[in-house]
Chain A
Amino acid sequence: MHQALLTLGFALVGASILALSALAFTLEYSVTNVANLSHGEILTVGAYCAYLVQQHGGGVILSGLAAAAGGGALALAVHNGVVDRFVRKGIGGLPTFIATLGVSLVIQNVLVIIFGAANLGYSVPQSPPRTVGPFLWTDTEIQIMVSAVVITALLYVIIQHTRFGKSLRAVSQNRSLARVSGIKANRVAALTWVLAGLIGGYAGFILAESIGTFSPYSGFGFFLITLTAAVAGGLGKAVGTLVGGIIVGIALEFFGGYLSPSYNLAFAFAILSLVILVRPRGLFVGGRRSIFE
């Protein structure tokens, strides 16, 4: 029992990161109907931005902010430079999906050119883990979980209780209708992507912190797991995605304990396929996308 609780403790850390990443991805999808295959790169760029700050002596807080800022900037660039142009031209989901694949390729390799392909690591001093009830966490891990909760709460407030959040919801449900009501859909979408980028960039930072090293390819690898969580929760549904992220994160940790953790990705894919095949609308009622009947 004690072991299970310990594993749960570790799982919650991973789940926090996964939940944030999946939320960001869902935000991107909800306002543009595009599955952003370069989403992983937003995380990677966030990790690298934090790295740059740390190389110049910045602390954890500054690194996190830099990561968020980097992610937000990249997301805006991708949206305005590529995705929005496709959306405005009425080009469908699949071709835009392919385009984001191209974007992903470009970003990964730009990072390779700038930073090299090898793994890098943060120079954050790790404090010894402390006992918190039945769990065992380091300060970093506690920071990760707490910040994840805070960000999620903030996101909830923004979406539910601000005017921007209202526009966001309107655009995600029915873009043309929202536009007719006077909402500047493209602007809302761009800002939503910035928001998603801020969250995603920060997620990349805490991902790198948690694993210890990262490379230009880290984000894409993590992306598949993110996709699992997002699809499991129901593409486009924020609450479902959140729960999906937590469940998938915990499940992965538990099963990763039995097999080598490098099989995590394979296990995530197994979950993903199962979900898509059995319940393509996601595990929760009210998911949006339906597929070919």
Chain B
Amino acid sequence: MIDYLVSILTEGVIFAIMALGLNVIWGWSGDFDLAYYGYVALGAYMTLVLTIGPPTQPTTYILGLTLPFPIAVIIAIISSMLLALIVGAIALRHLRGIYFSIVTLGAVYVLYIFAGQFVPLFNGYNGLSGLFDPMGDFFHIDFASYGFYYLGLCAVVLIAVVIMVTRLNTSRFGLALRSLREDERAAAAFGRNIYVTKLKAYVLGAGIGGLGGALFAGYLSAFNPSAWSPVETIILYAAILVGGRGSTRGVVLGVAVMVMGLQEATRYLPEVANQPSFAPAFRLILTGIVLVLFIRFRPQGILPERRLRDEDPAGKSGAAAVAEKVVTGPSLDTGVA
């Protein structure tokens, strides 16, 4: 029972990290990026090929080093960011709205196909495995309590990401980025370089995604195309949409509801329907329905994005309190003239 709880919490924490990265791209920058899970996947794959050592026949994959886990994670993050730099440099140059989404969808499908078909890369459909208990030896943790340790590790990373993201969000960087989301032309008229700024946000978000993927690889000990399909991105989007697009607390809440909550709520379903694939399919159906409902009726989510609120009644002093006041979230349909 405890093990199950630890397991589901770890998954939730890791997905929260991924969702926070996606929130940078969609929540702040306003780009509906369907390639996001590709950066997560690349983070996972790279972490594995950097830690599980050389391939043994008949598996094949690139690299195959045995670097320490933290180093591998850092390199994995960088590789996700590089991939995002390439995709973003092309897609963000001229495209917005559905065209951008379509191109990114295509990009992630290409990655998915190559990962699955081009065996020398990441061992094709069989994937990679063998990352057991990262850093467990280093900290002398025994097998039984490893789960707790890893949950703690991921939680620490999540807190760090939350701090970073919150800082950026309330800073001028975040404000300028949101202005790009709200109205690009006006932002350009006021001196913002749309392309460069969006690209920065895109790469940043992808880096966080890669981090999530790296931790995910450590959690699963393995990774292959069945562990990710481009449809996973939709789950992250649903979480962000439900929780509160643009707001950090909202995103975490959304993951808690849509990932952990949904998992819990549908735990006993497989016995009902006598089908092994019933529960995952049912969860996806619920996810899809919730997605449609929220986009129609509550696009800003449960905990919408916050604005700066100037509390000084006379408006005389130089300090402004950033308070919890919210009315509505980001404008959903923006940017395309």
Contact = CB atoms under 8 A, between A and B. Distances in A.
**Is chain B a partner of chain A in the same complex?**
yes
B90 A273 contact: yes
Contact of B94 (A99, A266, A291): A291
Interface residues of A, number: 45
Given A263-B117, A291-B94, A291-B95, A98 B291 contact: yes
A260 interface: yes
Contacts of B184: 292
Contacts, number: 143
A102 interface: yes
Contact of A93 (B109, B277, B299, B333): B333
Interface in A88-111: 89, 91-95, 97-99, 101-106, 108-110
Looking at A86, A109, A272, which has the most chain B CB atoms within 10 Å of its CB? A109
Contacts of A116: 275, 277
A82 interface: yes
Contact of B282 (A35, A99, A113, A262): A113
Nearest to B185: A292
A109 B282 contact: yes
B274 to A, nearest CB: 11
B50 interface: no
A41 B281 CA distance: 15
Contacts of B337: 292-293
Contacts of B117: 260, 262-263
B99 A276 contact: yes
A276 B106 CA distance: 12
Given A86-B296, A95-B332, A262 B113 contact: yes
Contact of B292 (A82, A110, A273): A82
Interface in B31-68: 32
B285 A109 contact: yes
B336 interface: yes
B32 A94 contact: yes
B295 A99 contact: yes
Contacts of A117: 277, 281
Contacts of B231: 105
Contact of A102 (B32, B95, B97, B289): B289
Interface in B62-110: 90, 93-99, 101-103, 105-107, 109-110
B296 A94 contact: no
A159 interface: no
Contacts of A180: none
Contacts of A99: 291-292, 295-296
Contacts of A198: none
B288 interface: yes
Q: What's the interface size class on B, roughly?
A: 35 or more
Most chain B CB within 10 A, of A86, A99, A268, is at: A99
Contacts of B96: 291-292
B296 A91 contact: yes
B335 interface: yes
A35 B277 contact: no
Interface string B295-307: 1100100000000
Interface string A202-233: 00000000000000000000001001000100
From B96, B110, B238, residue with most partner A Cβ within 10 Å: B110
Interface string B9-27: 0000000000000000000
B102 A227 contact: yes
A113 B275 CA distance: 8
Contact of B281 (A104, A112, A231, A270): A112
Contact of A269 (B109, B288, B333): B109
Contacts of A249: none
A109 B281 contact: yes
Nearest to A291: B99
- Shortest 5 CB-CB contacts between residues of A and residues of B: A92-B333, A269-B106, A102-B291, A105-B288, A106-B288
A94 B97 contact: yes
B102 A272 contact: yes
A178 B98 CA distance: 25
Given A35-B102, A112-B281, A113-B278, A98 B295 contact: yes
Contacts of A273: 90, 103, 106-107
Contacts of B335: 292
Contacts of B95: 276-277, 280, 291-292
A130 interface: no
Contacts of A110: 281, 285
Contacts of A86: 296
A106 B285 CA distance: 4
Nearest to A118: B277
Interface string A249-283: 00000000000101101101110110011001000
A102 B32 CA distance: 14
A224 B234 contact: no
A288 interface: no
